[in-house]
Amino acid sequence: MEAYELWQKAVKAREFSYSPYSGFKVGAALLCKNGEVVQGCNVENSAYGPSNCAERTAFFAAVAKGQREFEAIAIAGGKEELVMCYPCGVCRQVMAEFCDPDNFHVICGMNKEKLEILTLRELLPKSFEMQD
């Protein structure tokens, strides 16, 4: 799947965002190794702590469906206009739990001409990992 095609699915997932407090709507589209795309959106809560980012929503939904191997995630976010929206540290660490940092790609963008594709290692160079 092309990066832009996956990113468009993130834009679509953004429509389901529940963000009455910040107004910052985020959508994510997670590409599984088997070709399935699992979408997620941010879900806010007035207590803030129980809120969940779009990226983690997508990962947790995929894991709940039995998926454990992933190729890429695309992220689209902003209030009215889309802005470059990178995953937070918690989401990066969740990605590190399931993904090869050198081969998993994170796609962030504002439009077709402004897409940035990074590896997880570029975003999280020294992640916490289980030691043998």
Q: Is 81 a catalytic residue?
A: no
Tokens of 131: 């030691």
Q: What is the predicted pLDDT for the residue at 46?
A: 97
Percent of the chain with pLDDT over 70: 98
pLDDT digits (tens, 9 = 90+) for 13-27: 999 999 999 999 999
Strand ranges of the sheet holding 105-111, from the earlier edge strand across to the other edge = 37-41, 25-32, 70-78, 105-111, 114-119
Ordered by where they begin, the domains of the chain are: 3-123 (3.40.140.10)
pLDDT digits (tens, 9 = 90+) for 59-69: 999 999 999 99
pLDDT digits (tens, 9 = 90+) for 98-125: 999 999 999 999 999 999 999 999 999 8
Catalytic one among 44, 55, 81, 122? 55
Residue 71 CB neighbour total at 10 angstroms: 17
Q: What is the predicted pLDDT for the residue at 130?
A: 65
